[in-house]
Each structure stands twice: as structure tokens, then as C-alpha cells.
């Protein structure tokens, strides 16, 4: 198909909610790389139980879970099946000082 994007092309999403504050605030734009490996500590987009979740991936002693940065939210244990859709590689903001690269 002419003009279509590859599944491995980076894409942008807008953060909804405060589960990843203060690093990622409600409304900020994140850039996702679907080709980057999801390692312990990476910020990821995961399809799990019918939801698309943005969180930090933690891997400890074979246990995989999603840990929000905002402590008022709870962690989610990942049990198959789930799909990691990509890894956050950049945070964009209104000002250059708000931009940040990851990975």
C-alpha cells in the first residue's frame, strides 16, 4: 500500500491521566518505538486485558509487572497473554526544556 506506515515506525501518543506523573504529566506527548526491546525499567505501551496501558516495565526474578510512577496508583502483574506495543524513546513538551530522550 502506497504511503502507509510500517508497523515498526515510531509514533506519538498523548498521555492521559496522572499515573506516570511527575515524569509524564497528563497531556504530554510521548514518542513510541515499536522496534525497541522492552527491558527492565523501560517506559512501555502494553496491550493487556483489553486495555492499552502506559507504565514502567519491571522484571524481577522472572516476574513481569507494570509500575506507575505516581504512588497513588497500583502496580499490575503481567500474566500472559499481553503485547508490548513499544518503548517510549522521547517526551515532547511545549518548551525545549520539557523535551527528554530515553533509552
d(CA 78, CA 56): 12
Instruction: Determine how many CB atoms are found less than 10 A away from the CB of residue 6.
Output: 8
Q: What is the pLDDT of residues 88-98, one digit of tens each?
A: 999 986 666 66
On the question of pLDDT at 3 being above 70, the answer is no
**Residue 6 predicted with pLDDT over 90:** no
Q: Using one digit for the tens of pLDDT, what is the confidence trace for 31-71?
A: 999 999 999 999 999 999 999 999 999 999 999 999 999 99
Cβ 32 vs Cβ 87: under 8 Å: yes
As assigned by CATH, the class of the 11-101 domain is: mainly beta
As a whole number of angstroms, the distance between CA 103 and CA 49 comes to 27
Q: What is the mean pLDDT of residues 63-83?
A: 96
Amino acid at each position: 500500500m502506497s504511503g502507509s506506515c510500517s508497523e515498526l515506525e515510531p509514533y506519538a501518543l498523548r498521555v492521559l491521566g496522572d499515573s506516570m506523573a511527575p515524569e509524564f504529566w497528563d497531556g504530554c506527548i510521548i514518542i513510541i518505538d515499536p522496534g525497541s526491546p522492552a527491558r527492565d525499567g523501560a517506559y512501555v505501551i502494553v496491550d493487556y486485558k483489553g486495555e492499552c496501558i502506559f507504565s514502567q516495565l519491571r522484571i524481577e526474578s522472572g516476574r513481569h509487572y507494570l509500575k506507575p510512577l505516581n504512588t497513588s496508583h497500583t502496580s499490575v502483574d503481567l500474566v500472559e497473554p499481553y503485547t508490548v506495543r513499544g518503548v517510549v524513546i522521547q517526551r515532547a513538551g511545549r518548551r525545549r526544556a520539557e523535551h527528554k530522550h530515553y533509552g
